[in-house]
Amino acid sequence: MQRTLWALLLVLILGRANAEALDDGCASSLEQIQWLSEHYAPYNFVGEQGKPTGMTTEILLTLFKRLGAKVDAESIVFLPWARSYRTIQIRPDHGLFSTTITLQREKLFTFVGPIVPITVALIAKRDKQLRISSVEDMNDLRIGTVKDDIGEQLLLEAGVNPQVIQRTSYADNLVIQLIRGRLDAIAYASQPTFYYMNQLGDKASDYELIHVFSEGQMGVAFHPATDPLAIACLQEALNQLKAEGGVEAVINRYIGELPQSE
């Protein structure tokens, strides 16, 4: 964190003194990073044309272009979440998005963000009329998660019995299992869940958030040994895009009205 703060200070100072040389340094540093992601619509996913897209993807590609970095959508490697999450813990110059920012993860990674909002909750079919008032209530359910996802982590932190958790590696499979009644609920982010439901022809209005674990923000997580100049440049460019309303405009195009908690 200290290295990144010094790099950000350098960005602010040199940005006035020698903008051209700084831009070259930012671009070069960003081009050395391996960008990792997962299929996590509407944040980041591969679209119908086989090209990476999504809220966070669009925002990052805009930042790369502004900074003159030759990083395009095809440079992004899509992997199952658990594999990507392990990779950034052991490999410098690797960045993973979209990653929920938590106090625990800030001890492990360096973040650029926040970029986009996220609500992590227990989601169930409305007609089941499930109500949660304690951990014991959760232990009576078949709960699905994506392995190593924030939803699973928050379930375990809440003290839920690991034996009631049914894990999968892919979010779309998780939602399909909920739709087909193989799970009572899933612990996952509401935005991706209802996006997948719409894609699968199901109605988001038929589901509800029966328990909200957290409402937070997501960003890009980096191995802490990643070049601090790249991180500082990206953060500064993000701050500028936010101030111009560019980030909000992208988010509004992707997120419609979503069911709320009862």
Question: Coil, helix or strand for 185?
Answer: strand
Nearest to 24 by CA among 61, 74, 81, 70: 70
Cβ neighbours for 20, distance < 8 A, ≥ 6 positions apart: none
- The string of pLDDT tens digits covering residues 17-59 is 444 545 678 999 999 999 999 988 899 999 888 899 999 999 9
pLDDT of residue 14: 47
Tokens matching residue 204? 């988001």
Check pLDDT > 80 for residue 5.
Answer: no
Nearest to 71 by CA among 29, 11, 42: 29
- Of 257 and 104, more confident: 104
Tokens matching residue 240? 């500028």
Backbone angles phi, psi at 221, to 5 degrees: -100, 135
- Of 98 and 22, more confident: 98
pLDDT of residue 205: 86
- Of 97 and 18, more confident: 97
pLDDT of residue 129: 94
**Average pLDDT of every residue of the chain:** 89
Specify the range with the lowest mean pLDDT, choosing from 81-90, 107-116, 189-198.
189-198
- Mean local confidence (pLDDT), 105-130: 95
**pTM for the predicted model, two decimal places:** 0.74
- Mean local confidence (pLDDT), 141-165: 94
pLDDT of residue 17: 43
pLDDT of residue 198: 81
- Contact indicator for 38, 233 with CB cutoff of 8 Å: no
- Of 119 and 4, more confident: 119
Counts of helices then strands in the chain (DSSP H, E): 11, 10
